[in-house]
A = this chain, B = another copy of it.
Amino acid sequence: MIATAQLPVLDLTDLRACCAPLTGGVIDSADAERVATALKALAEPTRIRLISLIAAQPGGEACVCDLTDPVGLSQPTVSHHLKVLADAGILTREQRTKWAYYRLVPGALAAIGALLSNDPTSRSD
């Protein structure tokens, strides 16, 4: 089968190296693109809910079947959002028997958050 552009899963820690904090200097177009790509993965209400639902799950993991009802969307749509988050390096996917279990990548959210924290303009308060 032709490879369907299997994204190699982004390493979000790279973003800290290049761009944290955003206000630390002028960011070139290529880095801005990478930062925006990471943020785009998060900038969707359903995906925000999915992240919080997975984190709240006992064991910190959830299968697709655990998530469709809470978010109130179809199974294909939920699978799509989970794929977006996994491709962005925010979630991992692990197939166990019939179920696909998703969990947060440790430190991934913090790496994105580090771009926005350590903000010089926040030292004034």
A: residues with CB less than 8 A from B are 21-27, 29, 32-33, 35-36, 39-40, 42-49, 51-53, 55-56, 60, 70, 104-110, 112-122, 124-125
Copies in the complex: 2
Let me know if A36 and B27 touch, CB within 8 A: no
Contact (A49, B27) CB under 8 Å given A106-B124, A119-B107 = yes
A interface, over-half SS = helix
Bound-state Cα–Cα, A121 to B108, Å? 8
**Which one, B29, B48, B70, B110, contacts A36 given CB within 8 A?**
B48
A26 to B58, CA, bound (A): 12
> Complex: how many Å from CA A55 to CA B22?
9
